[in-house]
Structures are given as C-alpha cells and as structure tokens.
Amino acid sequence: MKPFLTTCRLLRSLNRFSVKPSPLVSLSTSSYLCDQKKKSSYEAVDQAKYSRLVWSVLSRAPVQTLESLFEEDDVLYGPVGKRKAPGQEQRAGVPQNWFPIFNEERNMKPHTSVSSGPLKIPLQRNVIPSVTRILQQTMTPEQSFFLERWKQRMVLELGEDGFAEYTSNIFLQGKQFHEALESILSPQENLKGREEHLQCGYIKSVQHILKEISGVQALESAVKHEVLKYVGLMDCVAEYQGKLCLINWKTPEKTKLFIRNTYDNPLQVVAYMGAVNHDAHYSFQVQCGLIVVVYKDGSPAHPHFMDEELCSKYWAKWLLRLEEYAEKQKNQSIPKPV
C-alpha cells in the first residue's frame, strides 16, 4: 500500500509542471495580420494641411524676367524662329556711316555758372524724329513680341479702360517725379518745397544718389543733332561723384539690378550725349552717362554708371539703330507696284 501512495504523489507532482503543446502558427493572410503591418511615416501626415501648403507654393507666380518669358514661350510655342528681321543683319556689324560721339573741339569742363541756373531749352516739334521714336521703330522682333504680349495680358486683367487708366497713371507719376527732381536740383528751390518732396517714395528712393550730384548744368532740356538728324529731351546733366554725366531717371515697376536689364535705356543716354556734344546750345562736353533706376516704394535706387569706353560701345549700337530707322523710312516711302 505504501509504494502505491508514493507512486501517486510522484505522478501528482509531475502533472503540476506539465507543458501544454502550443497551437500551430497559421500562415494565413487574413486582414487581421495585415492590420499588424507597420504604418508608413507618410500616412501620419496631415493630408489637408499638406495640400494647402502645396497649393500656396504653386499659386505664387514667380517674378518674370525677359529670360524666363523666353523659356516659357519655348515650352508653350516652341523656339523662336531664327529668321532675321529687315535691318537686323546690319545691327550686328559696324555702322556704315560713322560719326564720333565726342567733340574734340569742346572743353571737358563747362563754363556755365551754376548760380545762373541750369539750362532748360524747350523741345521744338518738327519733322526730325525723336530718340524715343527711333528706338520704338527699331525694336527687335522679340522685344515687340513681349511688349505686345504684356499689353494683352494687362488688357485681359484690367480691361481696355482699366489699362488706359493704368498707363495714364504711370505717365503721371513719372512726370510728377521729374518735376519734383527739377525743383530740388534747381537753386531756386525753397526749404518748404523740399520738405514736401521728401514725402514722395521716389524721392526717398533717390536720396543717396542726390547726395553725390552737384554742379547741375541742364534740366529737362532739349538736344538736337544737326548732322545725324534727331532730337530729344534729356533729363539732366550734372556732376556725379566728380564726373560730368548725362543722367537719365527711370521709374520702372520691377527691380533693375544690372544695366542689361534696362534694355534700350543706355542707347537713349548715348544718343543724348552725342547730341549735347555737338549742339551749339551747349558749351561743354559730356563723356559719361548715368542711368538711375528709382522705386516707388522708397527702396534705394540703383545707379548704373557708364564710363567713356562703355558709352563708345553703346554709341556704335545707336548708330546701327539710326541706319535701320533710315532704311525703314526709305522702304515705306517707295511706292508699291500696282
């Protein structure tokens, strides 16, 4: 009996530490197992917030330059044709009829006394073309294309009447700015008027340039080149950092950091320089140019100085434009065959 009891106790103790068989692992691809898969980090992103961010970035139109417009049109319409416009072959070469921009018979320094006031010769309207007209009539096909494209965009946005009002306001702002500058640079300017002008954004923009200007010789004065047959109305002739310059004020809506961004403005400057140096109304000679890009919001203006060498290069280009204009006028005067 005792051995039997001992055996029972042994079996009972073994049963206490028994190991139950584990269930077989299932290889099922049930939805339960798929739910256990690790989530991607992208799934945790706020999709609504992300969509708004993408839209805000893509909806901001970049500031367009002439180069970016070319690239855009290449994508939309293909590259611009390589065919040259009439007269464009001459533009890349040397002027056929050379005339110097500088006058060897003129003195470098003016004799006019500043105290007597700057020269202001009125512009006489006649059959001789203006510098502005010549440049407009000889724009490259690319310049004409983008100018017309810009106009069409503005008309679509503002309407015909709105665009007319917009251009009228731009012209009026430029006129008022030039009048304010003329008043400030004239010796007769009173302190009260000077304080009123300082409230203008354009004048604030150009303040650091005005500190470098002295010895004003001419303001809003007409010039005429008797030999090359063109006229114009220049903005200013004065000393800038000690050098006598023909100064051109520009009030664009976009920033012009480099002189290449001013398009035909350097040609306008050298055209006036060449006329001043050979116009009998002026006793001095100008050898440098200055384009001052002024901003309505009061941001510091950008001065683009043109030394004698740079002026000579642009003068050659201006002579080519003159020849191109003369050729166009000649072709228009020839009667077409019936």
Annotated active-site positions, please?
A: 235, 250
DSSP structure class, residue 247: E
Apex CA 227: angle with CA 85 and CA 220, to 5°?
90
| 301 Cβ contact list (under 8 Å, min separation 6) | 205, 206, 208, 209, 292, 293, 294, 295
**Residue 243 β-bridge partners:** 240
Sheet of 213-225: strand order equals 213-225, 230-240, 243-250, 288-293, 302-306
Chain position carrying tokens 């300082």:
198
Q: How many angstroms separate the CA atoms of 235 and 247, rounded? A: 6
| 265 Cβ contact list (under 8 Å, min separation 6) | 248, 250, 291
Please give the structure tokens belonging to residue 315: 């003068």
Please give the structure tokens belonging to residue 295: 């901003």
**Residue 218 β-bridge partners:** 119, 237
**Residue 338 β-bridge partners:** none
241: left (phi over 0), alpha (psi -120 to 50) or beta: left
Please give the structure tokens belonging to residue 67: 């180069």
Q: Are strands 230-240 and 213-225 parallel, antiparallel or unpaired?
A: antiparallel
